[in-house]
Amino acid sequence: MVLSKSWGTRGADIVIFALLAIVACISLFPLWYTIALSFSDKAAVNAGRVFAWPVGFNLSSYKIILEDHKFFAAFLISVKRVLLGGAINFVLTVIMAYPLARDNKMFPGRKFYVWYLVFSMLFSGGLIPLYMTITELHLQNTIWSLVLPGAVPIFNVILIMNFFRNLPKELEEAAVVDGAGPWYTLIRIFIPVSMPALATVTLFSIVGHWNSFFDGLIYMNKPENYPLQTYIQQLVVRIDPALMQTLTTEQLIELSKASDKTLNSAKLIVAMIPLLLIYPFLQKYFVHGIVLGSVKE
């Protein structure tokens, strides 16, 4: 039986939806403002005349980025990093979280390993020892220097461990009765029922790898080995006198239309596009994972 809402309840719903709409607009406005800057003219941006709509619409900043072949090389490096790093994070997170989710009788040393992970998450050796380790292992200027230092995302391990511990124990008991081993139980039971949580932490890993730029800056000695975020972070609007002799008149005109503000805005928009394409496919798992994680028996 569906009960009709009273006028007070409807009014409350309208107020709540209005407040949420206002919050959504406030949250999205910085992104919209950045888009407006990226499509605006250099003079209008420098004069502060851009607010909600592009002024002097032009695509000069995007042309500077997209016409550079080094941009696409950096893009491919970031794609490789996300695929390789995300796969490593996923595998290590699952195979570490599964045994740590057992009780103390099944895994006597569980508490020691859990506290060891928590300690290493809160305290690290610092940047210099990490840099020296990467150097001694001859990993500089390789993709491994970007994915191995963060191969074990401890925060994700703890999240999945707690998720596994909250799953009904009857699932594992039924698998054991049927003769399933630990690997079969993990792959055929725990992973399928934990897809929302695993998709959530995978999204965290993808965003972390894609947005990271500092490690590429310190581990890569050659610009051609930079990932995308490191590469676009190094881009500035600068006309080198030696470069001016090699540019055509049209290229010089396009370069003169861009500024640091418009180029930086275009960097942000271009860098967000892959994540915006991935997020809709993981959104249903992401929301479902949050809901499941909030319900405890």
SS3 71: helix
Residue 31 counted as domain residue = no
pTM of the model: 0.76
Structure token digits, residue 48: 């502060």
In a domain? residue 143: yes
Span 113-160, pLDDT tens digits: 888 888 888 887 788 888 888 888 888 888 999 999 888 888 888 888
Q: Give one DSSP letter per residue of 93-122, joined into a string.
A: HHHHHHHHTS-TTT-TTHHHHHHHHHHHHH
CATH number for the domain spanning 163: value is 1.10.3720.10
* Position 133 in a domain: yes
Q: Give domain status of residue 51, yes or no.
A: no
Per-residue pLDDT, 186:
86
Q: What is the pLDDT of residue 240?
A: 46
The count of domains in the chain is 1
Residue 47 in domain: no
Residue 12 domain-assigned?
no
Instruction: Decide: helix, strand or coil at residue 13.
Output: helix
Tokens of 124: 């690290």
In a domain, residue 14? The reply is no
For residue 52, is it within any domain?
Answer: no
Q: What is the pLDDT of residue 23?
A: 93
Domain containing residue 249? 59-294
Look at residues 257, 276, 272, 275 and name the one whose alpha carbon lies nearest to residue 54.
257
The predicted pLDDT at position 242 comes to 46
Element (H, E) at 250: helix 249-256
The structure tokens 């107020």 sit at 15
The pLDDT value given to residue 21 = 92
The predicted-structure confidence for 242-276, as pLDDT tens digits, reads as follows 444 555 555 555 555 556 677 778 888 888 888 88
Q: For the chain, which ranges sit under pLDDT 70? A: 1-5, 235-260, 284-297
